[in-house]
Amino acid sequence: KAKGVAEPVETYELVSMRPRTRWQARSSGGLSPLIGRRTELDFLKKLLDSAAAGHGRAETIVGPAGIGKSRLVHEFIASVPEEWLVLQTTCASQHANSSYYPVSTFIRELFGVMIRRYVAHLIG
């Protein structure tokens, strides 16, 4: 029973927590076909081929709000072979005063992936 509430309140136990971006929430309901981004996707796939040949590098995708940067990245990541480890980070306007926000997000993502892989290995 909750203090100050006459009727019982249903409670839930938090069993895990993971960051969820607006993009992840929006895209979970399905997406329309991607149109007009073949050149950009081909460029990113060439970078992937280069990385597979041992010539890795980082790439930054920038542009005005609403131009489709997140969607482009989403489509590219969906094309990456499953055995590859993909880590990504984002910038957010509400964290504009936190210069290390993208780095801290990236590190949390890395450790989250490592923990999930380790647990999957233990479970077998």
> How many domains is the chain built from?
2
CA distance 59 to 86: 13
* Pair (62, 94) in one structural domain: no
The answer to whether position 74 is within a domain reads yes
* Pair (41, 57) in one structural domain: yes
The answer to whether position 20 is within a domain reads no
Q: With 90 as the cut, is the pLDDT of residue 37 above it?
A: yes
Identify the pLDDT of residue 1: 60
3-state secondary structure of 62: coil
Phi and psi based region of residue 17 (left: phi greater than 0; alpha: psi -120 to 50; beta: remaining)? beta
Q: What is the pLDDT of residues 62-112, one digit of tens each?
A: 899 889 998 999 899 989 998 898 877 777 778 788 888 888 888 887 888
Amino acid type, 22: R
* Pair (40, 77) in one structural domain: yes
* Pair (70, 107) in one structural domain: no
Contact between 111 and 87 (Cβ < 8 Å): no
Q: Which domain holds residue 91?
A: 87-124
Identify the pLDDT of residue 20: 64
Considering the entire predicted model, what is its pTM? 0.63
Identify the band that residue 2 occupies on the pLDDT scale cut at 50, 70 and 90.
low
Six-digit token string for 52 = 């597979």
